[in-house]
Structures are given as structure tokens and as C-alpha cells.
Amino acid sequence: MSTLGYDEELRSERGYVAGLYARLDAERARVTGMYDAALRGHEGTAVERDVEVRAAAKQVKRLRIADNGLCFGRLDSLSGDRSYIGRIGLFDADEDYEPVLLDWRAPAARAFYVATAATPEDVRRRRQFHSRGRTLVEFTDEVLGRPDGAARGDAALLAAVDAPRGEGMRDIVATIQAEQDEIIRLDHPGVVVIEGGPGTGKTVVALHRVAYLLYTQRERIERNGVLVVGPNPAFLTHISRVLPSLGESDVVFMTTGDLVPGLHVTAEDTPDAARVKGSLHMLDVLAAAVADRQRRPEQPIPIALADAEVRIDAETAEWAIQEARASGLPHNEARTVFTEIVTYVLTERAIARIGRGWLTRRDRDGWEQLRKDLIAELAEHAAFRTALDDLWPILTPQALLASLYTSGEHPALTRADGDAWTVSDVPLLDELVDLLGRDPEADAAAAQTAEQERRAEAEYAAGTLQVLALDREELDEDLGVRIEDLTHSEVLAERFVEVDTRELVERAAADRDWTYRHVVVDEAQELSEMDWRVLMRHCPSRSFTVVGDLAQRRSAAGATSWGSMLDRYVPDRWAYRSLTVNYRTPAEIMAVAAALLAEFAPGVRPPESVRACGVAPWSRRVTADELPAAVEAFVRDEAGREGTSVVIGTGGVPASETKGLEFDAVLVVEPERILAEGPQGAADLYVALTRATQRLGVLHREPLPPALVGLTEA
């Protein structure tokens, strides 16, 4: 194409894109009007109005994301048809609702990502746009089927991976590669495992897969939402922009430490403790701990009633324990059964003593009346309630687990501060929620309070109906209900029930029993058997996208294979896919990391870098006195450059805290100290070396580890 022809085409495309933005603005105005009307609406119940407001708000949010890069490409078919590809779909309402912009997730847009010269997918030309804000700056064409056709998307891809990093992960919607697209659109109802080395884009692929599933299965997924589990808060912050940038907001981001609402993780386990806690053998330990608190008295416990004294002996307690356990109820709820058996035995014994000589079972009414009196007396009897608390106490997960840790019963679990919670404690506490169940007495009290509040509202409503001097028409309008329907004051009370206005994300995060339609697990190689048990409970449909790299495992309780974690739950419903191309780490840096990988994981093949940066990674040996100044020099130099940088190791952040993150420049300080931590240290150093997208430096005080000899001495 000549320069003149290119300029004319560019003007034409700019006009088309400008028209798309005009349609976007019009659609935004229409949806915003719907939202405002829903907020002012008086029709229907409070719940119905809330549903309408939420639906309109979601549409507003989805339309807000499209300003930057609304349209990023065009497909020309062999038959001459043109399709424009973008972040969202837009339609021409004047011409049979024809699409003027295809959502990137639509089936017709798939060819934009997978068409090649060998398999053109009915595509003659693929055009890629480069925009700045709302302005189309330039475009590049790839004509398929011609020998001189460029490789798929090289120009756009390299421009994206070479660009300086900003705050947070960016979406790759305009540069998805064929192997990534295959995983994003994979039609698999169970668990999809995506494994790939550093920089292969496995995390961003998983997030785009979520966006795709929400597009194709929105009605099934949206009501319960999606859970994304990451290794630490910094990682979650890093990836949190991707899905909103794709128009999806009903996603909950958590670490495994957040899975029990309200719990604060303040400590870290030793590798041995983490290994023990992460094993499914802990199920037996927890069950035994609960059973140990279901006790028989060493000596009979006397209960002095008004007309007789009875005793709770070991035989009575044993019978009550067996009946309570046989009920299948959780511990706290089974206390009711335990109490009923003990009460039955004590009342039988008391009746026999009180009624000796004058009361027989033939006097059924007298016997039953005496039983009722004794039951009422026991219910208020302080010694009896104390005995119940000793023999079958109401337990909380936190108190039970803390007492287990401080008891010394299990040396590997013993610690001085029982409730200094660690991440490994979370699945144990979650398990205890099910083992212990709810407190029936507390629930009964809460129900009584709720009933009292409801009655008070009904009484207030009754007074309102009597006092209001509104005519029928005004009352119909103000209450949103016909006066004939207000046959009882409770009907009016229900009109003013407080609606839970929290967004799905807030409600789900605060509810331990919330279940999700889909779960993404990143850095999944770090999760223990107990972690997986919790996550499977959160997703009964077993719909997961699992992301990880077994070579980067640092947790002693983590996965040694995917089957070891998944076969227990989805033996025939998990699919494995791998990513082999490194889009982040330049070849010069990956060569150094690959040498380290060969030492601690010789059977693992490193990903192949898609590009070189032309800058050799360097190392410098410094003394203890020189080290601070050398770190400061790196920070100062990088502050004058565009992009991001980080110091990992001594004087910086731990390598484990940088998992999943990326920076333009990385300085690794004292790698020998990281390696000294054993296999976990080797994995940490591998992570540290592969965070850089442009520049890598290493400062060391001791001799450089042999695996890093590929660094250039500075």
C-alpha cells in the first residue's frame, strides 16, 4: 500500500472508529437514563426495585471500560465481508440490529486470534489498530495466504511486551495468541489446569477465560459470581484491573488466608508444621479433638433437685454420647440430643424416688406432669447446666484449635500463642465450622429477637394505617400496592423490610457458606490437600481454572503433581494444558534462570522467550559496607526511567512476595542467602530472576552461586 493509500485508509478507519465511539456514548446515555429511572422508581417491592437498580448499574459499569482501545482490529473475509473486533459488542439499531463491532469473545471474532497463513480461517486480511485514548494512531495489515505475509501479530505483540510496565497487570485482549486463545475458549465443564513457566501469561489467560465464560454462560455464572484465589494481597492488587477492564465486576479476589471471614493471619508456620497441617490426616486429628471434648465424668456428678438428688454417672454420659454421635449432627447441634438423654435418665430416676409409694406408671397423667416439672427445674438448674458445659461444651473453631496447639498433644503443631493464626490454619478452622456446627441456643435467641422486631414493625405498620389520612389513590401510589391488598398490617410492614444493598462481591466475601459457579486458583502448586478441600466446598459444580508451575513450588505442603490434588475430587473431569512461550522474560535473562532451573528441577523444560532485549543481565560483588550504596544507586537510576522496578532479597522484598508480578527492572540482592534456604530457596531465586521484563542486576557478598555464572560481571 502506498503512503497516500495508507493515509486515506487511516482517515477512513478513524472515521469508522469515531462512529463507534458515538454509538458507545449514545448507549451510555440510554443505560444511564435507565439507571437513574430505576433509582427514582416507585413501582414494585423494595426487592424488585433493588434488582432493577443492580441490573442497570451492571450495564453502566460494562460500558465504562471501553474508552481506551474500544476497537483494536478488523477482519476481511475471502468473500469481502468486514468485521471490526473490540472490547464490547455494539449494534446498529437502525439496520436489523446488525453488529458494527464484535465482542472479542464472540465466535465470529475467534479467527482474529487463531488465523494463520497455513489455516486462514476464511480470513484474507487481519488489520490491527494502535490507538491512544480514543484516537486511532496507526494500523498494520497481515494478508494471509501470501508467502511474504508477516507472522501472526508479531508487531502488535512485541509492542505490547516491550512497553514499560505500569501499575497492575494489563489485559491482552488485543494480542491474544493462538495457544492462549485455545485455552480461553476451551469447552470443558470441569477443572482446566494451565501450567506454564514464568512469563507465559498463564494468569492473564485464566482471567480472560473467566471473562469468556461470563460472556457465554452469564446467566449460569453471574448470580453466584467467580472467586479468584491468589498467593498474597500484592498479587491480587496486581491482577485486579484485568477483569474490570474487560467489563466484568462480579468477581471476588481472595488469598487462602481470607477464606474464613474475619480471620486475621499474623504468623507463619515452619515448613514441618505447614506440611502436617496441609495433610488430610488433619481430618482425623480434628475429629479426635472434638471427640475428646465429649466427656464422661470421672466421678458421678450430683444434681440436687427440690425433692430428690440424682447423679450423672459415666454410664449415663456414655449412652448420651453414643446417641448424640449417632444423630449425625455437628457437635454443637448434637448437644441437644446429649441433653435430652441425660435429662430423660435423671427425670426417670427422680420420679422413681419422689413417687415411691404413691405414683406408678399406670398414673400416666401424674407421671407426665411430674416429668414436665422436673424438666423445667433442670432447665433452670445451675449445677445441671454447668455439668452439661463440662461434659458436652459449646465449642468455637478458634477456641478449640488454639487449645489443641497449646496442649502439647501433637509436638509438630505445638506453639505458645495458640491463636496467632497462620495461612495453614484457615482450612482447619473452616473444617471445624462443619464439625462443630452452630450454637442452637444462640440461634434461638437470635430468632426470638428477629421475631420481636418483626412484630414491632407490624404493630408500627398497623398504627400507620390508622393514622395516615391519605386517600386511596395517594396510598396506592406511595406504597406501590393497592389498598385492597393491605388486609393485614404485616403486609405493610414487609414493604419497608431493609434490603441488603451490598454488591455481590461484598456479600460473598463476608459469607463463609457462599458457593461460587467458577473458581480460579493461581499459584496453585502452593495449595495443600486441606486447601483444596475448602475450595471444592466453595464450588459444588467443580468448575475451576487452575494456574500454576510445579517447578516454582515452595510450600512443603504443596502439589508434587496435579493428579495428587485433583483426582480425589474430579478424577475424570480435569484437563491439562501447557503454555510454552515466555512473553515477559527476555532471552538474555531467561538463559540465566534456565541454568538455575536445570540444577533444582532438571526434568523441567524452561519456556522459550519470544524476544531478546539487547541488555545483558549483570552481577557485582560488593562488601557489606558497599551494599547499601549499591542498592541506592540502582533505585536512583531506575527512578529516572519510565516503568517499574523492585529490589528482591536483602534490603528489599522477599522473593515469595513477588510471585506473579512483573517489573521492568529487578535487582536481586545476595542470591546466595536465598539459595541457602534449600529447595524452597532455589524456587524463590528462580522466581526472583524471572520477574524482569528488561533489566536484571545481581549484587552478592559471597561468591556467586555456580548456577548464576552466566551473568556479566559489572
Q: Residues annotated as binding site for ATP? A: 196-203
Residue that the C-alpha cell 473467566 belongs to: 210
H-assigned helices in 41-126 = 46-64, 111-114
Strands in 256-300 per DSSP E: none
Going by C-alpha positions, the residue among 46, 597, 535, 562 that lies closest to residue 258 is 535
159 near 130, Cβ under 8 Å?
Answer: yes
Amino acid at the residue 34? M
Buried b (16+ CB within 10 A) or exposed e, 255-294: bbbbbbeebebeeebeeebbbbbbeeebeebbeebbeeeb
544 near 519, Cβ under 8 Å?
Answer: yes
Q: What number of other Cβ atoms are within 10 A of residue 145's Cβ? A: 14
588 near 697, Cβ under 8 Å?
Answer: no
| Spatial distance between the Cα atoms of 544 and 527, rounded to a whole number of angstroms | 14
Residues annotated within the binding site are: 196-203
| Spatial distance between the Cα atoms of 269 and 325, rounded to a whole number of angstroms | 33
Buried b (16+ CB within 10 A) or exposed e, 45-58: eeeebeebbeebbb
| Spatial distance between the Cα atoms of 714 and 710, rounded to a whole number of angstroms | 12
| Spatial distance between the Cα atoms of 460 and 489, rounded to a whole number of angstroms | 8
H-assigned helices in 437-538 = 440-467, 472-479, 489-495, 504-510, 529-538
Residue that the C-alpha cell 536512583 belongs to: 636
Half-sphere exposure of 227 (CA within 13 A, CB side): 30
Residue that the C-alpha cell 542498592 belongs to: 631
Going by C-alpha positions, the residue among 228, 279, 238 that lies closest to residue 258 is 228
| Spatial distance between the Cα atoms of 243 and 251, rounded to a whole number of angstroms | 8
Buried b (16+ CB within 10 A) or exposed e, 84-96: bbbbbbbeeeeee
Cα 682 → chain centroid? 28
